[in-house]
Amino acid sequence: MAFEWSDFVTILKDTEIEFQHLKKVQLAQAILESGRGKSDLFKLHSNPFGMKYRPEMSGIAIPVSYEASDGADIYCKFETLQDAVDGYWIFIERPVYSGWRTSISSPEEYIEFIAFAGYIGGASAAKQIYVDKVTSLFDEASELLNFSPDPNVIWKKNGVLLEIGHGKLPSRIFDPGAIGVNSKNEYNLNQIATKAAQRVIKKAGVPCDITDAVASLYRLGKRSAGYDVFCSIHHNSASVPAQGAEVLVHDHKADSADLILSKIMSAEIATELGIRDRIARGRNPRQRLGILSGAEDTDVRAAVLAEVYFIHVPVPDVIDWSTRGGQAVGRAIVDWLTTNQG
């Protein structure tokens, strides 16, 4: 009796796993490793993941010698497809993958972690090729899993990732951002605005994470992989008296989806605070920004950087302004998602 691919997909679909959003990674790996159920390792031994045998698998699998494309080796043989689905997560509990639970914010982050931890042998180029191949199968995996498109759900991926501009740098030096005429530095105000935006987005039922990670700007932007929207939150300053809101996009990687979000958000902040909408007034939103460069190199649907207002000119109450400005950022993102702009 040969194992059937459609049976495997059904069983995987019906299995409760610890992190449901990683199920599409598990399936994408199986699609790749088994050639959609066409490998003999799958058909004869119920192993769609190309998992080699390891002692930790002794409770759920038995060793079998198998000639794969990259040579003969000892692989896992499972008695049932359910054992294969469960066995995958036992395999991932092995010490070589320890700490994997800290790399699960997105399916992309998870597959990158396990590929580089040792799921794929050889040079890092080979590992990266594997990551790219698996990632490119996520949509197919999602469709197979029939992730029900709930009409009330306005996001398609992992929701929104907000980034608090400035703070601790990779060098461990603290970067306060722009210094205003008020008692708070930019970083403090970025925190206030980001949290206010998150509250609005979560209230609309959309998942919303905040990152304040220590990484180069490009790497920080790369964290937006798997999200619908990425927004880095800042406050502006200039050498001349000016007040206004502006929302920036990457100079050459931005597309119309990013530009629409920039427009909606800049208008929303300006209206909320009663200040100039610099984007509507002709300011070019396209700027060379490392963080947006990283974000645009992921599958994020839209990525922007908000400069809520200028802090080098006095405003009545910075905490109130940053809170309301942040709420406007949140509303703009919800608007963009609701009207499904990209």
Shortest Å distance, C-beta 231 to Zn ion: 13
Kindly give, in sequence order, each residue whose CB lies less than 8 Å from that of residue 48, ignoring residues fewer than 6 positions away.
Answer: 5, 8, 30, 33, 34, 37, 39, 41, 42, 84
Place of tokens 């300011």: 283
Closest separation in Å from C-beta 235 to Zn ion: 6
165 is an interface residue for Zn ion by CB under 5 A = yes
Cβ 186 to Zn ion shortest distance, Å: 5
In the complex with Zn ion, the residue whose CB is nearer, 62 or 169, is 169
Question: Of the candidates 37, 107, 159, 177, which one interacts with Zn ion according to CB under 5 A?
Answer: 177
Contact range with Zn ion by CB under 5 A, out of 58-66, 104-112, 158-166, 286-294:
158-166
- The amino acid at 139: D
Span from 8-16, 95-103, 157-165, 248-256 in contact with Zn ion (CB under 5 A)? 157-165
| Minimum distance from residue 277 beta carbon to Zn ion (Å) | 19
Spatial strand order in the sheet of 208-211: 208-211, 160-164, 229-236, 302-310, 246-250, 286-287
CA 305 to chain CA mean position, Å: 16
CA dist., res. 53 & res. 130, Å (int): 20
Q: Which of 93, 89, 91, 88 is nearest to 42 (CA)?
A: 88
Q: Please state, in angstroms and rounded to a whole number, the distance separating the CA atoms of residues 314 and 89.
A: 56
Q: Which stretch binds Zn ion (CB under 5 A): 80-88, 213-221, 233-241, 267-275?
A: 233-241
Q: Does 234 bind Zn ion (CB under 5 A)?
A: yes
Q: Between residues 135 and 237, which has the closer beta carbon with respect to Zn ion?
A: 237
Q: Both tokens of residue 260?
A: 């629409």
Rounded to a whole number of angstroms, the minimum distance from the CB of residue 160 to Zn ion is 19
Q: Does 48 bind Zn ion (CB under 5 A)?
A: no
Determine, following the binding rule CB under 5 A, whether residue 221 of this chain makes contact with Zn ion: no
Spatial separation of the C-alpha atoms in residues 268 and 18, rounded to whole Å = 39
Nearer to Zn ion, 30 or 245 (CB): 245
| Binding footprint of Zn ion, residue count (CB under 5 A) | 3
CB 143, min distance to Zn ion, A: 40
Stretch that binds Zn ion, among 83-91, 162-170, 218-226, 318-326 (CB under 5 A): 162-170
Give whichever of 159 and 177 is closer to Zn ion, judged by the CB atom.
177
Residue 14: name the closest of 145, 157, 141, 150 by CA: 145
Q: Where are the alpha helices (DSSP H) in 50-123?
A: 81-92, 107-114
The alpha carbons of the chain give a radius of gyration, in whole angstroms, of 23
When asked if residue 244 is in the footprint of Zn ion (CB under 5 A), the reply is no
Binding site for Zn ion (CB under 5 A): 165, 177, 234
